[in-house]
């Protein structure tokens, strides 16, 4: 009997190698390369090329094809329809990632219940769980008030049973939710559930099967300790839409982001609150993350950040305290620590402030983590406010990027931010158009000039 050939696959990026290495040559990660049988890599021959299929489909003219089969169906959650572009597209595959306990299963059970309530218009909805038993799923649905006659569930770890469900849907519309793809195993792949070969094979078979139907597939993906969706990177390329649900399990707010979308915008997001009956959509999240704030306190600045196409008013809090350590402390919550160090160095150099003698603590209020460069000016204003122990003008709002020379640069979405600030009644507005340098900012806020 011929010896089965092995190849080595990186479980972080999916890159293949003829031999084992401690570090992946493609992504640079360590200890992520593992042996996989060549037969489990999707029918690759010993020469490393895919075997030729018995027959090939003839190409067709796109103009003559009917568009009826690709019209999206509503999800039953209007805000989610807008996030996806139109709703659930027949034959589409959606990947949902997020940390454990953030609310992925709750959100998808709500989606399944809304589809079941729509009846024949939405088709059959099946919730497949490899992590919970049927009694556990029923208990969660009852607790959330989602039990209904059309809500179907299946508890299994066998990928073939999920494929049978897709085959049973036929050409009728439907929704298949798999929670999660790392818990299913296929007899056509080696390894334990969740391994690279199993995830690659299971997801490939499910996506290929659903493409031949009018149903929509939703896969739940586990995440790594770095917050990336676990499994080969190929998994994100195989699906049509990638969503990511983020938030702190100890907080009541959640943010659903679109990382990839073939049928709609790829820079949208939704804000939810975790309530007793599940996740509830926040209709106007513009000031949701501000909360109750006291404008008379120092070290707090309101900044208008842009995440995708949606502007948010967020509070940036800073604390500058005299340090008794040889190396002062720097802590950032919700910010990139390296960016904080850079901005503090610019403040110290350009404004001649003794920040090297102070511990600096910075955080974003409301638990929202943003990476908008327009937050630079708000962070600088909050640090200056705490350093001088003087509150900022009530209603002041900031946005702008700081360069290494201490100049304020314009950022994307200038008009959108201005319209949102006017709608919310903020003023004065401090940005690249109203203050050119850090010294202009300090003079406008505290009346202090360059020393």
Return binding residues.
98-105
Residue of 388, 13, 447, 8 whose CA lies nearest to 228: 13
CB 185 within 8 A of CB 159: yes
> SS3 for 158?
strand
Q: Which residue has the tokens 């990660």?
A: 29
Backbone angles phi, psi at 384, to 5 degrees: -65, -40
Residue of 175, 145, 147 whose CA lies nearest to 278: 145
User: Could you tell me which residues come within 8 angstroms of residue 167 by beta carbon, excluding any fewer than 6 positions away?
Assistant: 209
Give kind and range of the element (H or E) at residue 135. Answer: helix 134-143
User: Which parts are annotated binding residues for ATP?
Assistant: 98-105
CB 351 within 8 A of CB 343: no
Size of the chain, expressed as the number of residues it contains:
451
Residue of 395, 394, 391 whose CA lies nearest to 381: 391
CB 270 within 8 A of CB 256: yes
Q: How far apart are CA 51 and CA 42, in angstroms?
A: 10
Backbone angles phi, psi at 236, to 5 degrees: -70, -25
Angle in degrees, CA 340, 346, 352, rounded to 5: 125
Q: How far apart are CA 148 and CA 98, in angstroms?
A: 27
């Amino acid at each position: 009997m011929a010896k089965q050939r092995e190849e080595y696959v990186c479980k972080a990026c999916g890159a293949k190698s003829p031999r084992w290495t401690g570090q992946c040559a493609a992504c640079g990660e360590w200890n992520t390369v593992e042996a996989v049988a060549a037969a489990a890599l999707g029918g690759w021959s010993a020469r490393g090329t895919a075997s030729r299929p018995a027959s090939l489909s003839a190409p067709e003219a796109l103009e003559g094809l009917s568009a009826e089969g690709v019209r999206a169906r509503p999800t039953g959650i209007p805000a989610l329809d807008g996030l996806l572009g139109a709703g659930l597209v027949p034959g589409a595959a959606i990947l949902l990632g997020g940390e454990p306990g953030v609310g992925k299963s709750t959100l998808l059970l709500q989606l399944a219940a809304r589809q079941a309530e729509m009846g024949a218009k939405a088709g059959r909805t099946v919730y497949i769980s490899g992590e919970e038993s049927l009694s556990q799923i029923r208990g969660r649905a009852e607790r959330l008030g989602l039990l209904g006659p059309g809500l179907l569930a299946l508890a299994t770890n066998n990928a073939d049973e999920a494929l049978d469900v897709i085959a049973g849907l036929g050409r009728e519309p439907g929704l298949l939710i798999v929670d999660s793809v790392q818990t299913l195993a296929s007899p056509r792949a080696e390894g334990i559930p969740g391994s690279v070969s199993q995830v690659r094979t299971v997801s490939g078979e499910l996506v290929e099967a659903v493409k031949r139907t009018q149903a929509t597939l939703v896969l739940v993906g586990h995440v790594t300790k770095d917050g990336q969706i676990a499994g080969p990177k190929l998994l994100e390329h195989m699906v049509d839409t990638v969503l990511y649900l983020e938030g702190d399990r100890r907080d009541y707010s959640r943010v659903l982001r679109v990382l990839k979308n073939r049928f709609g915008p790829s820079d949208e997001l939704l804000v939810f609150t975790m309530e007793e009956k599940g996740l509830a959509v926040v209709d106007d999240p513009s000031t949701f993350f501000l909360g109750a704030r006291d404008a008379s306190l120092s070290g707090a600045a309101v900044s208008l950040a842009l995440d995708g196409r949606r502007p948010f008013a967020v509070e940036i809090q800073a604390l500058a305290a005299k340090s008794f350590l040889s190396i002062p402390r720097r802590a950032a919550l919700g910010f990139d620590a390296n960016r904080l160090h850079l901005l503090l160095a610019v403040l110290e150099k350009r404004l001649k402030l003794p920040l090297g003698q102070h511990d600096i603590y910075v955080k974003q209020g409301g638990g929202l983590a943003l990476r908008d460069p327009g937050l630079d000016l708000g962070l600088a204003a909050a640090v200056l406010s705490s350093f001088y122990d003087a509150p900022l003008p009530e209603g002041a709002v900031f946005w702008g990027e700081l360069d290494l020379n201490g100049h304020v640069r314009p950022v994307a979405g200038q008009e959108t931010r201005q319209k949102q600030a006017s709608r919310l009644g903020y003023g004065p507005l401090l940005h690249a158009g109203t203050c050119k340098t850090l010294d202009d900012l300090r003079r406008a806020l505290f009346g202090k000039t360059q020393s």
